[in-house]
Structure 1
Amino acid sequence: MGKTKKLIELDDKALEILEKQAKLQKRSLKNYLEYTLEDTAMRYSEPSEAYKKMMDDMLEKMENGTLETMPVSEVLKRYGREL
């Protein structure tokens, strides 16, 4: 995936707020802005075909009564973690 540079203009107050958020996450302002914009873009993106197929298979198993599940506490225990 390529990269493209864009020039943006921000209100001074907005920039001040974003700088504080970047510091809280121990990121540079540039890195924080890039991360936030890329994360937001991914939320708008369409799920992959593989993910859609996996979900369709899970829904079909649920409708057929063949879906096997376990409590989250059991999953955590399996990996040596607790709630």
Structure 2
Amino acid sequence: MGKTKKLIELDNKTIEILEKQAKLQKRSLKNYIEYTLEDTAIRYSEPSEAYKKMMDDMIHRDDKGELKTYTWDEIKAQYGR
């Protein structure tokens, strides 16, 4: 995938906050901003075709009554928690 450079302007308070967060993650400010923006973009992107197909199958199985679901209490009881 190609890369594009963009110039952004942020106020000093924002930079200060982001620098603190970057240090907590042991990242440079530049790396932290790039990572955060890429992570956000991925969350906004459309699900993959494989995921959509899997979810359509799950919905179809649920509609036909073939899908067994468990409550959280049932799962905890089964594993002794």
Provide TM-score, normalisation by structure 1.
0.77
Q: Does 1:37 align with 2:11?
A: no
Q: Does 1:66 align with 2:66?
A: yes
CA distance in 1, matches of 2:29, 2:37: 12
CA distance in 1, matches of 2:30, 2:8: 12
Q: Which region of structure 1 is more displaced relative to structure 2, 46-55 or 63-72?
A: 63-72
The Cα of 1:6 is off from its aligned counterpart by: 1.0
Q: Which runs of 4+ in 1 moved over 3 A?
A: 68-73
The Cα of 1:56 is off from its aligned counterpart by: 0.3
Provide TM-score, normalisation by structure 2.
0.79
Q: Which runs of 5+ in 2 are unaligned?
A: none
Q: Does 1:48 align with 2:48?
A: yes
The Cα of 1:44 is off from its aligned counterpart by: 1.2
The Cα of 1:54 is off from its aligned counterpart by: 0.8
| Cross-structure match for 1:9 | 9
Higher Rg: 2
CA distance in 1, matches of 2:68, 2:25: 38
Letter matched to residue 57 of structure 1: D
Letter matched to residue 21 of structure 2: Q
Cα RMSD over matched residues?
2.1
Q: Which runs of 5+ in 1 are unaligned?
A: 78-82
Give percent identity, aligned residues only: 75
